[in-house]
Amino acid sequence: MDKNDKIDFLAIGDIVIDAFIKLKDAHVHKGLDDAESSELCLRFGDKVPYESVKICNAVGNSPNASVSASRLGLRSALLTNTGEDKNGMDCIETLKKENIITDFVKIENNQKTNYHYVLWYGVERTILIKHTEFDYKLPDNLPEVGWIYLSSLAENSLPYHLEIAEYLKNHPETKLAFQPGTFQMKIGTEKLRDIYAHTEIFFCNVEEAERILNIQTKDIKTLIKGIHDLGPKIVAISDGPSGAYASNGTDIYFMPMYPDIAPPIERTGAGDAFSSTFTVAIALGKTIPEALAWGPINSMSVVQYVGAQAGLLSRVKLEEYLQKAPKDYITSNIN
């Protein structure tokens, strides 16, 4: 692409192929403390039948966000790494079909594209993950960027985060949305302090906020204040079926989840849909309450399909759902 072409939305993070393995011969051992301590159980040392396998190309937190932004009308690009293999080529072709700018997809020799196995049981899933440690680096030919959306990367990516933070320091016109993945939470807030300091919008769920802040509390005001203290200007925290919260540091808004149009099929990508859609709304000049109304609609749609992208909506369709929303689908200020 031309150096002078502006990118509205640049997603940065690992790309993955998800293989959804639908299980039928399993059960869930309920945890004593919370849902996170529950376990998916299969018979040990036996042949366990499954119903089907569905392959989803070019997924992962950041690729999902890039597709979401593209379908909502932004000029969207993805900065990621693939292996020099068929899986990588399949991912690139999928991105192109979604009108994603792929100029910044780096193909690495002698590396394998990330491939994850999703154990799908009921409406929930357990994902077996393995992130290839790629040679992460910002390209020299980035044009003007409106928003960077940063999410999951491998454990060797700390220098990359520091490079991104330096880019943001030198390009104050570029705003950052940060949805930390597993390894970014593991790295910790101190090592990523410059990323947190440059974050315009921060996303996580209640349990992740506890993990990031190293505290045990479900009190949403305490969690939001703790994240704000790390630097982010806008903090959005989701609480599953209970709804979502967003704060600008002064006002805290709550939005219930948009009612399901049918029983969910599976929940992969619901968080990505919420976070990316919220970011797109803010990028388009919407207020926080308006963005908080947009996000759950795309989450509702995504869980009606297998995989994280099939249900992502166009702006026209999203606004149709917004117009048809029930009367109690409104934001409230909980200060």
Q: pLDDT per residue over 300-319, tens digit each?
A: 999 999 999 999 999 999 99
Residue 36 has a pLDDT of: 66
Residue 335 has a pLDDT of: 87
Residue 166 has a pLDDT of: 98
d(CA 91, CA 224): 36
Q: In degrees, to the nearest 5, what angle opens at C-alpha 143 toward C-alphas 199 and 308?
A: 60
Residue ranges, the chain, pLDDT below 70: 1-4, 32-36
Residue 31 has a pLDDT of: 76
> Are 309 and 91 contacting, i.e. CB atoms less than 8 angstroms apart?
no
Residue 78 has a pLDDT of: 98
The model's pTM is 0.94
pLDDT in tens, 227-256: 999 999 999 999 988 999 999 999 999 999
> Are 306 and 266 contacting, i.e. CB atoms less than 8 angstroms apart?
yes
Residue 1 has a pLDDT of: 66
If residue 190 lies in a helix (H) or strand (E), which one and from where to where?
Answer: none
Q: Which domains does the chain have, with CATH numbers?
A: 7-15+59-113+133-333 (3.40.1190.20)
Which residues are CB-contacts of 168 (< 8 A; sequence separation ≥ 6)? 148, 174, 176, 198
> Are 158 and 20 contacting, i.e. CB atoms less than 8 angstroms apart?
no
Report, in this order, helix, strand and coil percent for the chain, each rounded to 5.
30, 25, 40
Q: Which two tokens mark 214?
A: 């190293």
